[in-house]
Amino acid sequence: MNDWTMIEAINHALANQMRANENIVIFGEDVGVNGGVFRATDGLQTEFGERRVFDTPLAESAIIGMSIGMASQGLIAIAEIQFMGFIYSAIDQILSHAARLRNRTRGRLTCPIVIRAPFGGGIHAPEHHSESTEAMFAHIPGLRVVIPSSPARAYGLLIAAIQDPDPVIFLEPKRIYRDGKQAIDDNGQALPLDSCFVLREGVDITLVSWGAMMKETLEAAKQLAQKGIDAEVIDLATIKPLDIDSIIASVNKTGRCIIVHEAARTCGVGAEIAAQLAEKSITSLLAPIQRVTGYDTVMPMFKNEHFYMPSTQRIIYSAIKTMEYR
C-alpha cells in the first residue's frame, strides 16, 4: 500500500496503465519535460520516452483533434488540457467529432480518449483557471464526465476511464490535489464508472455532491450529526451518465435532499438531479429539494473566491431549513 495525494494517485494510475498497454500515449502543454503544471505527469517521459509522453503547442483544438485521429487508428490518447478554462477552443472537436464517432460510424470506430483537465476554484488563480462547467459537457451525448473526490477514487476512476472505449472527460478538482493522502494499492484495479459512492449512511437527509465540494459536504454531515441530524452523503463521481437510481434509493429512505456543487446555479447538474427526483420520487419527499451552489457570475479573482464557493455553514443552514420544513 502507498500513501498518495490525489495528484500522486493520478500520476501512478497513468504509469500503471502505460506499463500495461504500449498503445497509450499522453500529451498536452508542458506534460513532457516539466511533468505538467501540477506535476501529474512527472517522470512519465523519462520512463516511457518522448514518443509516448510529449509536449504540444498551445493549441487545445489541435490537441483534441490529434487525440481523435490517434484513437480512431488504434491508440489510446490521454490529452491534458492545462486548465478547464482553456478547453473551450476544443469544443468543436469534442462535440462534433469525439462524442459522435461511434454513432457516426455505426460502431465501426470508437474513440478511446481521456481528456484530463484540472478544474474548479480555491487556489487563488485568475478567472480562466477556476472554471467549473461540468454541466456543459454532461449535456453532450456520447461523452462520459467523471470527477474524483479522493486519491483512491482518482486512481480507480482514471484507470476505468482509460480502459473505456469511448471518450471520457476526466475533471480533476485541483483544490484537493494535495489535500491529504490515502493508502492505495497500485494494482491497476478500476473503480466502476456510472455509479455513485455512498460515503456516509444516514436516515434524515441526503446530501449529494462531487469533486472538491465533498470535503465541505462531509464536514457538514459531521456537524449536523452533533445537532442530531443523521445525513447520508453521496459522491456522484460520474456526472454523466447519472446514477439517479442510487440517489432515488437514498431519498426514498430520508425524504429530503440537498445538492451541493461549486458550479453556477442555473442549469447546473444539481438542477438535473432535482428534476429527476421530482419526476421519479416526488411521493417520498418530505420537503422541497435544496441546492447549495456557486453563483451565476464569473468566479471572483484571487482572494475573493471564498465569497463564491459553497461553505460548510451554507450546507448546514440549508439542511436545518430543510429539516424544519412543514
Confidence at residue 105, expressed as pLDDT on a 0 to 100 scale = 95
Weakly modelled stretches of the chain, pLDDT under 70? none
User: 241: cis peptide before it, omega within 30°?
Assistant: yes
Helix, strand and coil content of the chain, in percent to the nearest 5, comes to 40, 20, 40
pLDDT tens for residues 273-315? 999 999 999 999 999 999 999 999 998 877 788 899 999 999 9
Q: What is the predicted pLDDT for the residue at 255?
A: 98
Residue 114: exposed, middle, or buried by beta-carbon count in 10 A (0-12, 13-18, 19+)?
A: buried
Question: Would 2-184 and 197-323 be classified into the same CATH topology?
Answer: yes
pLDDT of residue 300: 85
pTM of the model: 0.97
- As a dihedral over the C-alpha atoms of residue 232, residue 237, residue 239, residue 240, rounded to 10 degrees, the angle is -120
Q: Report pLDDT for 106.
A: 95
Q: What backbone phi and psi angles, to 5 degrees, belong to 162?
A: -65, -35
Q: Give pLDDT, residue 86.
A: 96
- CATH of 2-184, picked from 3.40.50.970, 1.10.150.20, 3.40.30.120, 3.30.1540.20, is 3.40.50.970
Residue 312: per-residue pLDDT: 98
What sections of 118-194 are H helices per DSSP?
134-138, 151-163
Torsional sign, CA 243, 188, 41, 58: negative
**What pLDDT, on a 0 to 100 scale, did the predictor assign at position 303?**
79
Residue with grid cell 488563480, as numbered in its chain: 125
pLDDT at residue 74, as a whole number: 95
Positions annotated as catalytic residues are: 129
Q: Domain 197-323, CATH 3.10.20.310 — does that match?
A: no
Which sign does the torsion angle of CA 265, 223, 284, 134 carry? positive
Look at the block and give the residue holding cell 506534460. Answer: 31
Where do the domains of the chain lie? 2-184, 197-323
